[in-house]
Protein backbone atom coordinates (compact mmCIF):
# COMPACT_ATOMS: atom_id res chain seq x y z
CA UNK A 1 0.00 0.00 0.00
CA UNK A 2 1.35 3.43 -0.84
CA UNK A 3 0.70 6.84 0.65
CA UNK A 4 -0.95 9.32 -1.69
CA UNK A 5 -1.11 12.95 -0.73
CA UNK A 6 -4.03 15.23 -1.23
CA UNK A 7 -6.04 17.95 0.44
CA UNK A 8 -9.06 17.70 2.69
CA UNK A 9 -12.41 17.82 0.89
CA UNK A 10 -13.38 20.86 2.95
CA UNK A 11 -10.34 22.84 1.72
CA UNK A 12 -12.47 25.04 -0.52
CA UNK A 13 -9.57 27.32 -1.43
CA UNK A 14 -7.68 24.32 -2.85
CA UNK A 15 -10.72 23.13 -4.78
CA UNK A 16 -11.45 26.57 -6.20
CA UNK A 17 -7.83 27.36 -7.10
CA UNK A 18 -7.58 24.06 -9.00
CA UNK A 19 -10.95 24.44 -10.74
CA UNK A 20 -12.28 21.36 -8.99
CA UNK A 21 -16.06 21.53 -8.90
CA UNK A 22 -17.38 21.18 -5.34
CA UNK A 23 -20.61 19.60 -6.55
CA UNK A 24 -18.66 16.99 -8.53
CA UNK A 25 -16.57 16.16 -5.45
CA UNK A 26 -19.72 15.85 -3.37
CA UNK A 27 -21.39 13.63 -5.97
CA UNK A 28 -18.29 11.45 -6.30
CA UNK A 29 -18.06 10.99 -2.53
CA UNK A 30 -21.76 10.15 -2.34
CA UNK A 31 -21.31 7.60 -5.13
CA UNK A 32 -18.33 5.96 -3.40
CA UNK A 33 -20.05 5.61 -0.04
CA UNK A 34 -23.41 4.64 -1.51
CA UNK A 35 -21.63 1.87 -3.42
CA UNK A 36 -20.06 0.69 -0.17
CA UNK A 37 -23.40 0.71 1.65
CA UNK A 38 -25.75 -0.49 -1.09
CA UNK A 39 -23.52 -2.18 -3.69
CA UNK A 40 -21.95 -5.62 -3.71
CA UNK A 41 -18.41 -4.76 -4.72
CA UNK A 42 -16.82 -3.06 -1.73
CA UNK A 43 -16.72 -3.39 2.04
CA UNK A 44 -17.81 -0.39 4.09
CA UNK A 45 -15.14 2.13 5.19
CA UNK A 46 -16.49 2.97 8.62
CA UNK A 47 -14.53 6.13 9.44
CA UNK A 48 -15.02 8.60 6.56
CA UNK A 49 -14.28 11.95 8.19
CA UNK A 50 -12.43 14.84 6.54
CA UNK A 51 -9.06 13.64 7.86
CA UNK A 52 -9.50 10.25 6.19
CA UNK A 53 -10.48 11.59 2.78
CA UNK A 54 -8.29 13.59 0.43
CA UNK A 55 -8.75 15.22 -2.95
CA UNK A 56 -5.92 15.69 -5.42
CA UNK A 57 -5.88 17.34 -8.78
CA UNK A 58 -5.54 14.96 -11.72
CA UNK A 59 -5.56 16.51 -15.17
CA UNK A 60 -4.98 13.14 -16.86
CA UNK A 61 -8.47 11.82 -16.11
CA UNK A 62 -11.31 12.03 -18.56
CA UNK A 63 -14.31 13.76 -17.04
CA UNK A 64 -13.46 14.72 -13.48
CA UNK A 65 -10.16 16.54 -12.91
CA UNK A 66 -9.55 15.06 -9.47
CA UNK A 67 -8.96 11.83 -7.58
CA UNK A 68 -10.45 10.90 -4.23
CA UNK A 69 -8.14 9.17 -1.76
CA UNK A 70 -9.37 7.23 1.27
CA UNK A 71 -7.06 6.86 4.27
CA UNK A 72 -7.19 4.82 7.49
CA UNK A 73 -8.21 1.41 6.32
CA UNK A 74 -8.41 -0.05 9.81
CA UNK A 75 -12.18 -0.25 10.10
CA UNK A 76 -13.98 -1.93 7.23
CA UNK A 77 -16.99 -4.19 7.46
CA UNK A 78 -18.76 -6.41 4.98
CA UNK A 79 -22.50 -5.88 4.91
CA UNK A 80 -24.56 -9.01 4.23
CA UNK A 81 -26.64 -8.77 1.06
CA UNK A 82 -29.99 -9.16 2.88
CA UNK A 83 -29.07 -6.33 5.24
CA UNK A 84 -28.04 -4.10 2.31
CA UNK A 85 -31.35 -4.73 0.61
CA UNK A 86 -33.44 -4.18 3.72
CA UNK A 87 -31.50 -1.00 4.54
CA UNK A 88 -32.16 0.26 1.00
CA UNK A 89 -35.85 -0.58 1.39
CA UNK A 90 -35.90 1.35 4.68
CA UNK A 91 -34.65 4.49 2.90
CA UNK A 92 -37.08 4.01 0.02
CA UNK A 93 -39.89 3.83 2.58
CA UNK A 94 -38.59 7.05 4.19
CA UNK A 95 -38.53 8.81 0.83
CA UNK A 96 -42.05 7.59 0.05
CA UNK A 97 -43.30 8.45 3.58
CA UNK A 98 -44.54 4.87 3.86
CA UNK A 99 -44.76 4.46 7.62
CA UNK A 100 -45.75 0.79 7.57
CA UNK A 101 -42.67 -0.12 5.53
CA UNK A 102 -40.45 2.23 7.56
CA UNK A 103 -41.50 0.33 10.67
CA UNK A 104 -41.06 -3.06 8.97
CA UNK A 105 -37.55 -2.36 7.72
CA UNK A 106 -36.49 -0.59 10.92
CA UNK A 107 -37.43 -3.81 12.70
CA UNK A 108 -35.58 -5.96 10.14
CA UNK A 109 -32.35 -3.96 10.05
CA UNK A 110 -32.09 -2.73 13.64
CA UNK A 111 -34.58 -4.66 15.77
CA UNK A 112 -36.62 -1.52 16.38
CA UNK A 113 -39.98 -2.00 18.11
CA UNK A 114 -43.09 0.00 17.31
CA UNK A 115 -42.59 1.93 20.55
CA UNK A 116 -38.99 2.82 19.61
CA UNK A 117 -39.77 3.64 16.00
CA UNK A 118 -40.56 7.39 16.23
CA UNK A 119 -37.26 8.08 18.02
CA UNK A 120 -35.28 5.87 15.63
CA UNK A 121 -36.88 7.46 12.56
CA UNK A 122 -36.07 10.94 13.85
CA UNK A 123 -32.52 9.90 14.73
CA UNK A 124 -31.62 8.48 11.33
CA UNK A 125 -33.17 11.33 9.36
CA UNK A 126 -32.59 14.31 11.63
CA UNK A 127 -36.23 15.21 11.10
CA UNK A 128 -39.26 15.50 13.32
CA UNK A 129 -41.07 12.16 13.13
CA UNK A 130 -44.36 13.82 12.22
CA UNK A 131 -42.74 15.30 9.09
CA UNK A 132 -41.54 11.89 7.92
CA UNK A 133 -45.02 10.50 7.58
CA UNK A 134 -46.28 13.39 5.44
CA UNK A 135 -43.95 13.16 2.42
CA UNK A 136 -41.97 16.11 3.74
CA UNK A 137 -38.52 14.51 3.97
CA UNK A 138 -37.14 16.55 1.06
CA UNK A 139 -38.28 19.89 2.43
CA UNK A 140 -35.84 22.15 4.21
CA UNK A 141 -36.02 21.97 7.97
CA UNK A 142 -37.65 25.07 9.39
CA UNK A 143 -36.24 26.98 12.34
CA UNK A 144 -39.20 25.72 14.38
CA UNK A 145 -38.42 22.10 13.50
CA UNK A 146 -34.74 22.55 14.39
CA UNK A 147 -35.70 24.18 17.68
CA UNK A 148 -38.19 21.41 18.42
CA UNK A 149 -35.57 18.72 17.78
CA UNK A 150 -32.96 20.52 19.91
CA UNK A 151 -35.45 21.05 22.72
CA UNK A 152 -36.46 17.39 22.67
CA UNK A 153 -32.83 16.34 23.08
CA UNK A 154 -32.64 18.48 26.19
CA UNK A 155 -35.81 16.96 27.62
CA UNK A 156 -34.50 13.44 28.09
CA UNK A 157 -34.65 12.28 24.51
CA UNK A 158 -30.86 12.13 24.37
CA UNK A 159 -30.78 9.49 27.11
CA UNK A 160 -33.50 7.51 25.32
CA UNK A 161 -31.52 7.76 22.08
CA UNK A 162 -28.32 6.51 23.74
CA UNK A 163 -30.24 3.56 25.19
CA UNK A 164 -31.88 2.83 21.84
CA UNK A 165 -28.61 2.94 19.92
CA UNK A 166 -27.07 0.65 22.53
CA UNK A 167 -29.52 -2.04 21.38
CA UNK A 168 -28.93 -1.59 17.64
CA UNK A 169 -26.58 -4.11 15.94
CA UNK A 170 -23.03 -2.76 15.60
CA UNK A 171 -23.02 -3.04 11.80
CA UNK A 172 -26.07 -0.77 11.63
CA UNK A 173 -24.35 1.78 13.88
CA UNK A 174 -21.34 1.73 11.54
CA UNK A 175 -23.56 2.15 8.48
CA UNK A 176 -25.42 5.04 10.11
CA UNK A 177 -22.12 6.65 11.16
CA UNK A 178 -20.74 6.34 7.64
CA UNK A 179 -23.97 7.62 6.15
CA UNK A 180 -23.98 10.61 8.51
CA UNK A 181 -20.30 11.48 8.09
CA UNK A 182 -20.43 11.26 4.32
CA UNK A 183 -23.29 13.75 3.99
Q: Do 64 and 24 touch, CB atoms closer than 8 A?
A: yes
Nearest to 122 by CA among 143, 146, 155, 89: 146
State the DSSP H helix or E strand holding residue 92, giving kind and residue range, or none if neither. Answer: helix 81-95
Q: Of residues 21, 23, 47, 72, which has the active-site annotation?
A: 47
Active site residue 47: yes
- List Cβ neighbours of 145 (8 Å cut-off, separation of 6 or more): 127, 128, 131
Count of other CB atoms within 10 angstroms of residue 31: 12
Q: Could you give the angle at which helices 22-38 and 81-95 cross, rounded to 10 degrees?
A: 130
* Three-class secondary structure of residue 76 per DSSP: strand
Residues involved in catalysis: 47
Amino acid sequence: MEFLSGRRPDDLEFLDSNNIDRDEVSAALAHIFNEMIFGDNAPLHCDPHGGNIAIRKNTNRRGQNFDIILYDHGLYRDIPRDLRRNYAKLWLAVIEADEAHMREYSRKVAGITDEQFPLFASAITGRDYTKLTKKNIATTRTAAEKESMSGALGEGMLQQLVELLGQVPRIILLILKTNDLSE
